[in-house]
Amino acid sequence: MRKAAFFDVDGTLTTGQVWRAIMDYFQERRERPLENLAYWAYHTPLYFLFKLGVISQTRFRRPWASHLAWYFRGLSVEECVHIWDRIVSDHMAALWREDSLNILNQHKAAGDLVVLVSAGPAPLEESIARLLGADIAVGTQFEERDGRYTGKIKGKVCLAENKALLSKERLLAEGIDVDFAASSAYADSSGDVALLEMVGNPVAMHPDEHLLPIAQERGWKILPE
């Protein structure tokens, strides 16, 4: 059995959000304006409901993640390989947290399996994994038809309890047997609680105001100290 280190991406490995990098890519090229308008029109009210405490963080973030597929509707899977890599190289370059990357690299040096787990698009997370040298990336799958993205997701949004579920499904599919009790997970928000609960060494990494009290109550390690 292998030890693994599971890392959330947004807010944990980065100071910014993947969705913003996707928007910036298309806005810079003045592409997908209708999708951008529809995205903001749909989600802005949800943001204010979340801030007012009317809906949960997960209820707010689930459509926020799934509707990123709108931006890629009609684009071929092949041409998007270049787009994912450009988003990572051009729009995420200034977002990385050095302390979090140092921990990720320590796990790599120790021979641990490094797994990225994010609500972001799976192919984008795979591009991030290639850049960082992570072994596996688990994200939200986009539906494909005839080699093109349909604008919908396939399966579950990789958020909340699905982060643990989809991680375990991926490991099973890869035939990798992980010692979860000896493994670690790093995350920053309350939507990552299930991922943190999955391992014996949960770490609240740059926790937000929702995860911090949970981590304190449960006695989880909090970084930076």
CATH 3.40.50.1000, domain 4-223, yes or no: yes
Query: In this predicted structure, what is the pLDDT of residue 48?
Result: 77
Per-residue pLDDT tens over the stretch 4-15: 999 999 999 999
Query: In this predicted structure, what is the pLDDT of residue 45?
Result: 77
Per-residue pLDDT tens over the stretch 35-47: 888 888 877 877 7
The domains of the chain are located at: 4-223
Long-range contacts at 90-95 (CB < 8 A, ≥ 24 apart): 90/25, 91/20, 91/21, 91/22, 91/24, 91/25, 92/14, 92/16, 92/18, 92/21, 92/128, 95/14, 95/15, 95/16, 95/21
User: What's the whole-model pTM score?
Assistant: 0.91
> Parallel, antiparallel, or unpaired: how do β-strands 136-145 and 148-154 relate?
antiparallel
Judged against a pLDDT cut of 80, whether residue 33 lies above it is answered with yes
Judged against a pLDDT cut of 80, whether residue 129 lies above it is answered with yes
Higher-confidence residue: 64 or 156? 156
Question: In this structure, are residues 9 and 118 in contact, taking their beta carbons and an 8 Å threshold?
Answer: yes
Per-residue pLDDT tens over the stretch 52-75: 777 777 777 787 888 999 999 999
Query: In this predicted structure, what is the pLDDT of residue 36?
Result: 81
